[in-house]
Chains A and B, each alone.
Chain A
């Protein structure tokens, strides 16, 4: 089974609008972390936001927030007030801290295009 599933290959959003990128995960490890990365055409993976499995509140970092629904095993990224510079690939990732804590499991990504 896939550890991370991103079902939206591509998304479009109007500038200044909010957009939600979906991510579901699969793990039996009670201690894990969920991450979102942005990858522009330059290739670098840019860290956006982190949510730990034991965190009670949803993580927020500026315009980014993570909608963490543990029972549904979902960790959707919400970008508010989209900007043209937000156009990029977005990857959801997970690390399982009890077992294979050293590696990230990445989804297949979502390509976000912000329309002026």
Chain B
């Protein structure tokens, strides 16, 4: 039973560019959440998707957007990258309303 799969594992982008990160949830899970973890910090909630809609959003600018597909997989898009966007981006999947969340290993984004 595969857990949460994220791709790519590492990514280097130039300031001002756009990036798309991908997440496949654990089998049986229908909800995907995204977190940003800056170096030396705890993860910060970006948003959560369920039934292909954004259900809740953290304190992140509109440059951060997402999408959920009918197969429950999800994408995180970041436009106009800033140096401060460099972080580990974690995807977590769950069953809507449940307590059990499964995290992926993350995508490490470096903006230069």
Q: Which residues of A contact B (CB under 8 A)?
A: 4, 33, 37, 42-47, 50, 91, 93, 100, 102-109
Tell me the bound Cα distance from A115 to B32 in angstroms: 37
* B14 contacts A by Cβ under 8 Å: no
Complex Cα–Cα for A107 and B37 (A) = 11
- B interface, over-half SS: strand
Residues of B within 8 A of A (CB): 33, 35, 40-45, 48, 55-56, 58, 88, 90, 92, 99-106, 108
* A-B pair number, CB within 8 angstroms: 50
In contact, B105 and A43 (Cβ under 8 angstroms): yes
Nearest CB on A from B39, distance (A): 11
Q: Most chain-B CB neighbours within 10 Å: which of A4, A45, A105?
A: A45
Closest to B102 in A: A47
Q: Which of A37, A45, A103 touches B45 (beta carbons < 8 Å)?
A: A103
Q: Which residues of A contact B55 (CB under 8 A)?
A: 102
Are B40 and A108 closer than 8 Å at their CB atoms?
yes
Q: Measured between alpha carbons, how far is A43 from B99 in the docked complex, in Å? A: 21
Closest residue on chain A to residue B41 by CB atoms = A108
With A4-B42, A43-B106, A45-B90 in contact, do A50 and B33 touch (Cβ < 8 Å)? no
